[in-house]
Amino acid sequence: MTNLRIGSRGSALALWQAEHVKAALESRGHGVSIEVITTTGDRTQGRLEPVGGKGAFLKEIEEALLAGEVDLAVHSLKDVPVELPEGLRLCAMLPRADPRDALVSASGASLAGLPPGARVGTTSLRRRAQLLAARPDLAIADLRGNVDTRLRRLQEGAFDAIVIATAGITRLGRAAEITERLEPSVVLPAPGQGAIALECRDGDAAIAEAVAPLADGPTTAAVTAERALLAGLGGGCNVPLGAFAEAEGGALWLRALVARVDGRVVVRAEGRGGPPEALGRNVADELLRRGAGALLAT
């Protein structure tokens, strides 16, 4: 059996995920400890784009991995860029939780039932664009912070509603506060949303062998297609982009979109079947053929 050191951010959600992986590994006889690492993303109060986007939540953890200070990193896959640092790889995808976004409203109103001009909190450009495409009358305002902070801001009256990942609020035991789970036909999730990814050093056979039983095949196939699409569009584009793959009728069905931030232009494409990576690339190519390149260029 192996003794593993997990590197994790210190947020409640990150620690839940790290503890979840720790318990799964310990149940298989491994010794596991968790090292809390503060990342650039944790120290940033404003928008993440100037400091590397969501990848800012990984930088210091990956540095610790490469330095041999930890053996395994536990990430929300939606935060993991397509291009990883040399010497690191994703070694397992855990079973995916509900990938949908969730609306939490102060009044209990659904997205359709929010009053005109309702103030909705989210910092995600992807969510902003799709919410405005569905409800152009909404007032979308930035909302940063962890899950508890966002819910507290709603309770304090700063917003009429907020949009948050269903997986995150559920993992923290607050699913009862969800007003509406937004279907992918209304708001497509981020690539990899709801999935927990494990990252390790290339060539570390002992760690790879230890975590292999945690990997989930259907999740791996779905997120591989989503991330291949992301790669086909140029990686970590700071534009509204959604992608979601799911099994349907024995084949993988991938839906994707690229939008303008104000939601007035939304380019959509989808595809079915074939190897996940090829499916992702094909749908990315279709988005580009339909005009997504102009949006990505802006």
Q: Which residues are catalytic?
A: 79
| Tokens describing residue 82 | 């397509």
What CA–CA distance (Å, rounded) separates 105 from 81?
A: 31
HSE-up of residue 191 (Cα within 13 Å, Cβ side): 29
End-to-end CA distance of the chain: 51
Nearest to 246 by CA among 105, 99, 136, 111: 99
Are 182 and 122 contacting, i.e. CB atoms less than 8 angstroms apart? no
H, E, C per residue of 178-226? CCEEECCCCCCCCCCCCCEEEEEECCCHHHHHHHHHHCCHHHHHHHHHH
